[in-house]
Structure formats: structure tokens, C-alpha cells
Amino acid sequence: MKPPKHTLRWIGAGLVAVGIWLKRRQKQDLRASPSVLRPSHPDKPEPELLRFDRLQDRVVYSEDDLSGLKEDCSSEGNYRIARLKGIAGNSFTLHVYNGSPATLQLRVYGRSDDGVKPLTECIEIREVVKKVKVDGGLPGGGEYIIRFSLADNPEEKFDPADFVALAVYEREPPAQPGIRYRALGNQPTDGPRTVLSFSHNRKSFQRILLSSCEADGEYLRKWAGRTGLEEAEAYFGPLGSVVVLGIPPGLDPNTTGGAAARVRPQKDTIDATAEPDYIVNARHPDDPTNREGDVDKSPTGPRGDSEPVFRPHTKFDRDRTPIVVSVVDGGVDYSVHNRNHWEPSRYDRPLESEFVKTGGLGYDFIGKDKEPQDEAPHGTYVAGAIIGGYRAEAPLKMVHFKIFGEEAISSYFGALVGIFEAATVKSTIINMSWGMYAEKAPPALQCALEAAVKQGCYLVASAGNDTTNIDKTPQWPAGFSTVSTFKKHLITTAAYHYDGKPTADAVRLSKFSNYGPRRVTVAAYETTRVPEFNSGDTTFPLGTSISAPIVTARLAQFLADNPGATLSDFAGLYERAPSLSSSVAGQAYLPMNQGETVG
């Protein structure tokens, strides 16, 4: 039975009324007073931001607030006003973050007893960040007023997450130190390295990165173009792409990244992210810009005078399928003292990538060349633990991705590209003896590791050396062990030692080791004998950075001896130590193998 025509008319009228109401709700006129912006302290890591949200709403200010402000810089009625208070001098720098699709038309005014006068021209802001220098202000007192309109937004649509933020400095944040670095593709490899500067918050470099495991380079470059920032370096691989954008000094990378995320094209169709280019510190992940210190060492292993010598296995059965291990770290010491250690495992597989070539040792992402010479030293110890502990018949082939330079500090970009490249050549295992603390999982890192898992790679990560519970304060990539994608592919490694004889009851978590009964998969011994850097001697470095490659060596040998085996099968080698009940999942530890050189 059809409803009467008058009923249909009522329904139609009702729908129209609802539509009008929803449209009005979406775009309201709000009465407001100008927001107050106060100066940021140049020595504090974060700016004092004044943030404007709900950009779809039109704000109505009083006549007193608008008195004397000319309309010549506002092409539309949708605008915002801020009052600047606390300025002692007559000059300052305004930092503008535009996290919206609109072009901003901004002008700064001064109001005193003599009236209102414009202190800047009408400034058009299309990029996501801009500095506005204001000189010759109001030496006799008064107030500053900032007004901007949201212009040239053809569809007049704003997402609820769109924003504009302002910060102001009387004295700009001071220049920060950094690391010696050569940008990928932008500097000659035979020229001097420049300084890659830390950001003011000292958690990242003064850069952001755009990344995706789906998008091609054209998409990321289109996105980068919308930000208005200069491309610093980029990587476009078959499994993922990363574009790094430089940020003018003093501007905040976190807010810049948030603004860049708002101008992403086709937001709902491609998985891509914007993040700061985080600092990855091999020695001090809890203090990322700390360039001091050395690797702690033990005078000997637990066997004392009976400790096995360092003698890597070199007699392989060439008819067996090789095990390929990629080490994303600091490279290796290729001095006359140690170069022979790496030759038997030099990569000779036919599968190549942009930075992995048959017959090579790997790649240097600090110096941008094919010689991953360790400078830290850190990678030498990690790689030494792997070749010293491997005893299988199948050939061991290693790729050394040098991401740490002499400061033992890497860019997030370098770590990501190293992982993508290791996955591209289908490494059996990727060893990552480093980490970075963050409350939430870094999406670009998760993307790169997921790409590696899809290639069939196993991942081994160190838990860290800060006596920190990573269940509560996660370090990445170690923290991914509880994510379903990685449970069958990632081993997070803590460190232990023996309090007496080498039995389960004598196992103790190392005093420096991070821990976590959920996120830590297993504990391995805290040291092993490895070649000393630039020396013919050997040494016993301490740390989960060494425990991780001890696991990598054992896993590589296990997979070589048991083709088709899984991490669940490898876990059959674990034993249980009661003292690890609150530190490691299932109280698991990897006992010393008497046939290896592990300490």
C-alpha cells in the first residue's frame, strides 16, 4: 500500500529541514573574543602554541575588537583574531602552522593611543609553516593584533582535524648541534659531510618525513609539494617510499608534521603518514642527542680462562641454501686488523636492490657510499657476535647497513631505508640492536617492518639498556613483539648473567637490561667475545645490543639446520628461569651453547 501524497510531501519537507539544520550545525556563527597569544621561551623544547580548531565555523567579533582593522587583507569573512601579550621589545618572530587546505591571508597590527597601524604587508601563506618577522613595533607600549582569513578554499570545506596554530618568539630558539651527515642524492660522495641539525625539542632532527608502503613516489612527491617545504632526501623502493622535508630552524617538527598530515592528497585511499625524523641513538635512546660515552665491557666471559677464542666458522657447504642476515647498525671495522673476518660472509647472492649489490659488504647511509666502515664502534661488535656464534654448514651471507656514524646516532630515515633494503633482498633475519622510546608505535617503522614480514624475514630486536619496563614505557622496534602481525616473526631480547654456576636457578636479569613480561620474548647472555675495533684483540661488550645478535646467530644456525622451521620451533631451545618471571615472557632464556663462542 502506497502512502498518501501529502504524507510524502511532509516527509520531503522534513528531510529538507533536517538538511538545513545539519548544514547550519556544520558551519556556525560563533561569537568570541580574540584569543591571547603569549611569547614562547626560546630555551624550552616546545613552543607555547595558540591553536585554532573548528575552522568551518565563522567567528563574529565585537566592533571594539575590529575597530581600526582594515579589510584589505581578508578576502573572506571567515577569519580569526589573536591578541599578542607579553612582548617587551618592539620586534618578534611569528611562527605560523597551517594545517588546513586554505590559503591564509595574514597581517599583524599595532594598537596604541595613536590608533591602529599595520606592521606587516598582507602575507599569503600557502605552505604548512612560515616565519613572519615583525620589526618597528610599539616601543611606547600598546598591543599587537594578528588577523588571518581562511581564503582560497574552493570547496569551503574543513575537516574537524584541520587547524591553524601560532607561536611567537622575541628571541628565536638557538641553533642546535647535530651529526656529520651526507644527504642521499643531494651531495657529492667525495665532498665533506655537512651537519644534520637536531630540532629544538632534541627528539628529532629538524626535518619531517612522509612515508608509505603503498604509495608510489609520484604520490609522496605530490604530497610534499603541497607542504611547501624543501625536499632534503628521498627513497623510492619496491616495498616502500620515504620523502624527507627540511624545516626552517626553530620551527616545531611535531606541529609541522601535524600540519603536513592535513594537506595529504586522497587521505582515505592510501596508507601514508607524516612524522618527525626521529633521532635514533644506539647508546642512549633515553637521551637521543647524547653523543658521549662508550660501550660498556666485561673483562671476560663467564668461563674465565677457558673462554673460547674468537674463530668464525668459514668452511661452508656451498651446495646448501645460504642464510642471509642483514645488520641495520653501524657497519663493520674494515681495518687491516679485522677485514678478513667479514670476507667469508660477504654478500654474493644474485638478488640486488638499490643499495645492495652482489659482492658488496652493504651500504653506508651516513657517508652515502658502498663502504660501511664502522665509526662508532657498535656495528662491529654486533656483526662479530653473529659470525662468532654461527656454526652451521649452510653459508652465512651478511649485509651491513651502516646507519650510525661516529656519534652512534642515526636518522629515522636511515633506519627505515635500511629495513626496506634488507627486506627487498629477502634477508632471512634482520638484526636491530637499537631502539627509540615513544608512547605510540611509530607508523613508518611499523610499515617497514610489516613489509619485511611479508617478505618472510625474521626480526631480532634488542630490548634496551635503561632498566626500563618496556611494557609500560615502550621502546621500538622491540615493542612490536605483542602486535599480532609480528608475533611469529619478531624476537625481543633482554640480557642475563649467571649468579654462580650456569644453571636456570642462577640466571639473573642483567642490571642494565630493559624488561617486560609481555613484550620481551627471551633473555640471552649479556656478552660474547668479539673483535675489538681497529685492533687485533678481542673484547666482551655488554648490553642487549650484544644479546640480540647472540640470538640472531643461534636462530640463523637453527634455520640452516632445520629448513622450514619457525620461531615456534626455535623457541624449543629456550629454558625457564624462575627469576625472570616478572621480566621476560614465560621466564624464557636462551642457555649458552657450549659449541659456540658466546660468553
Residue 152: per-residue pLDDT:
64
- HSE-CB at 446 with a 13 A cutoff on CA atoms is 18
Locate 67 and state its grid cell.
Answer: 575597530
Residue 187: per-residue pLDDT:
57
At the topology level, CATH places domain 178-281 in Alpha-Beta Plaits (3.30.70)
- For residues 156-176, average pLDDT: 92
What secondary structure does DSSP assign to 377-436, as a single string?
A: SSHHHHHHHHHHH---SSPEEEEEEE---TTSEEEHHHHHHHHHHHHHTT-SEEEE---E
- HSE-CB at 342 with a 13 A cutoff on CA atoms is 32
> Nearest 5°: phi and psi at 434?
-165, 170
Window from 191-200, 257-266, 311-320, 450-459 with minimum mean pLDDT: 191-200
Of 462, 409, 473, nearest to 438 by C-alpha is 473
User: CA-CA distance, 105 to 493, in Å (whole number)?
Assistant: 53
- Catalytic position from the list 149, 545, 579, 583: 545
- For residues 353-368, average pLDDT: 96
Window from 267-276, 514-523, 564-573 with minimum mean pLDDT: 267-276
- Catalytic position from the list 341, 378, 489, 497: 378
Residues forming a β-bridge with 523: 494, 589
- With a cut of 90, say whether residue 41 has pLDDT above it: yes
Task: Determine what percent of the chain is predicted with pLDDT higher than 90.
Answer: 75
Query: Where does the pLDDT of residue 268 fall: very low under 50, low under 70, confident under 90, or very high at 90 and above?
Result: low
The pLDDT tens digits for 421-434 are 999 999 999 999 99
Q: Within 10 A of 360 (CB to CB), how many other CB atoms are there?
A: 17
- With a cut of 50, say whether residue 36 has pLDDT above it: yes
User: CA-CA distance, 584 to 519, in Å (whole number)?
Assistant: 8
Task: Determine what percent of the chain is predicted with pLDDT higher than 70.
Answer: 89
Provide the CATH number for the domain formed by 27-169 in this structure.
Answer: 2.60.120.1090
Residue 105: per-residue pLDDT:
93
- The structural domains of the chain, with segments of one domain joined by +, span 27-169, 178-281, 329-589
- With a cut of 90, say whether residue 481 has pLDDT above it: yes
- With a cut of 90, say whether residue 20 has pLDDT above it: no
H-only helix segments in 400-543? 412-424, 443-454
- With a cut of 50, say whether residue 17 has pLDDT above it: no
The pLDDT tens digits for 393-421 are 999 999 999 999 999 999 999 999 999 99
The pLDDT tens digits for 44-85 are 999 999 999 999 888 888 877 777 677 667 655 588 999 998
Pairing between β-strand 429-432 and β-strand 297-298 as defined by DSSP bridges: unpaired
Residue 153: per-residue pLDDT:
65
- With a cut of 60, say whether residue 199 has pLDDT above it: yes
**Higher model confidence: residue 236 or residue 60?**
236
Residue 24: per-residue pLDDT:
45
Opening angle at CA 582, ends 576 and 586, nearest 5: 35
545 belongs to the catalytic site: yes
Residue 215: per-residue pLDDT:
74
- Whole-number mean pLDDT of the chain? 90
Provide the CATH number for the domain formed by 329-589 in this structure.
Answer: 3.40.50.200
Query: Where does the pLDDT of residue 112 fall: very low under 50, low under 70, confident under 90, or very high at 90 and above?
Result: confident
Residue count (the chain): 599
Cis peptide before 377 (omega within 30 of 0): yes
The pLDDT tens digits for 531-554 are 999 999 999 999 999 999 999 999
**Higher model confidence: residue 33 or residue 381?**
381
Q: Residue 31, exposed/middle/buried by CB under 10 A (0-12, 13-18, 19+)?
A: exposed
Residue 140: per-residue pLDDT:
60
**Sign (positive or negative) of CA dihedral 83, 88, 93, 99:** negative
Locate 398 and state its grid cell.
Answer: 651478511
378 belongs to the catalytic site: yes
- Catalytic position from the list 162, 329, 374, 466: 329
Residue 16: per-residue pLDDT:
44
Residue 307: per-residue pLDDT:
75
pTM: 0.91
- For residues 136-155, average pLDDT: 77
- For residues 571-583, average pLDDT: 98
**Higher model confidence: residue 267 or residue 345?**
345
